[in-house]
Amino acid sequence: MPSKRLSVVVTRRLPEVVETRMKELFDVRLRDDDTPMTRQELAAAMAEADVLVPTLTDTLDAGMISGAGTRLKLIANYGAGVDHIDVETARSRGILVSNTPGVTAEDTADMAMALILAVTRRIPEGLSTMQAGTWSGWSPTALLGGRVGGRRLGILGMGRIGQAVARRAMAFGMQVHYHNRRRLRPEVEEAFEATWWESLDQMVARMDVISVNCPHTPSTFHLMNARRLRLLKPSAVIVNTSRGEVIDENALTRMLKAGEIAGAGLDVYEHGAAANPDLRDLANVVLLPHMGSATLEGRIEMGEKVLLNIKTFEDGHRPPDQVVPSML
């Protein structure tokens, strides 16, 4: 007699190929629309499922996890970041947490480089001119941006994504600098021709471009605060494709409006989708709706990792991408 299949609840719509495979392997409940679950819906899902597959739009705090049903044994997160999940509380309840690391590093680095180019070369302003039909022809002084080659790029967080950004920056002739919790091995530094700065303050003050590529943790909240942002050169540009909470968004907005920072490219925001409305009115700012990892290939690979984590758990083994508090 076949054993009972795992009960799995998925909180958001996933690529069709991933959902199809979910239905083949598990007793899965998929989302009919692509809106986030309410807190009540999440609580109900956690009461009835063996496995929950959440995304970054689902806040699984201590209260939510403490009220989960006894059936729930695995939270298989669809995404690498787990700052929306109280992993410590889950662990105390005997609930494993897994994620999908390393899948979207190249995609996110592509977007970081795109933002650097968009801000420094004023691409959105040119696009707006063409779409409005107001372009009157070429002019030697129209929409002058800045050359990327030769600029100093300071990477904040030199993990998978930071290193992928560094590879792209080298191809554009940029000088790579970085600040990280731990210095990279000499051979890795040599490959990127990278300069390590132990002091973030000193690095920030000397860079032409800052790329934020670190996760959101208690120690990185407002790492780029008002004091540190004031260290930037007036000609500097900052881009963020990691977590909005790393930058004090209100302070950044004030400085951009005052011309104290040359420009910014943002794909993430401190308060989720609620970006500071003043940012939308600034010509020196490029805003994107959290598109850094939004490629079909990446989303499918994320789903494949989720499937592997769940199937490995079902077979009685530790999920390959299990997250433990010491990793955070």
Tens digit of pLDDT for each residue in 208-239?
A: 999 999 988 889 999 999 999 999 999 999 99
Query: Can you list the domains of the chain with their CATH numbers?
Result: 7-103+295-327 (3.40.50.720), 105-133+144-287 (3.40.50.720)
What is the pLDDT at residue 217? Answer: 86
Q: Tell me: pLDDT of 1 over 60.
A: no
Structure tokens at 265: 């490219």
What is the pLDDT at residue 272? Answer: 87
Cβ contact 275:247 at 8 Å: no
Q: Tell me: pLDDT of 62 over 60.
A: yes
The whole-angstrom separation of Cα 202 and Cα 208 is 13
The whole-angstrom separation of Cα 280 and Cα 12 is 28
What is the pLDDT at residue 4? Answer: 83
What is the pLDDT at residue 293? Answer: 93
* Integer CA distances (angstroms), 124 to 22, 127, 239, in order: 40, 5, 15
Taking the model in full, what pTM does it have? Answer: 0.91
Structure tokens at 76: 């298989």
Q: Which among 68, 71, 7, 62 has a CA at the least distance from the CA of 42?
A: 68
* Integer CA distances (angstroms), 22 to 13, 29, 96, in order: 12, 9, 19
What is the pLDDT at residue 326? Answer: 61
Q: Tell me: pLDDT of 139 over 70.
A: yes
What is the pLDDT at residue 106? Answer: 97
Three state DSSP letters for 170-181: HHCCCEEEEECC
154 phi, psi to nearest 5 deg: -100, 115
Tens digit of pLDDT for each residue in 25-57?
A: 999 999 998 999 999 999 999 999 999 999 999
pLDDT > 90: percent of the chain: 93
Cβ contact 177:203 at 8 Å: yes
Cβ contact 256:279 at 8 Å: yes
The whole-angstrom separation of Cα 53 and Cα 168 is 33
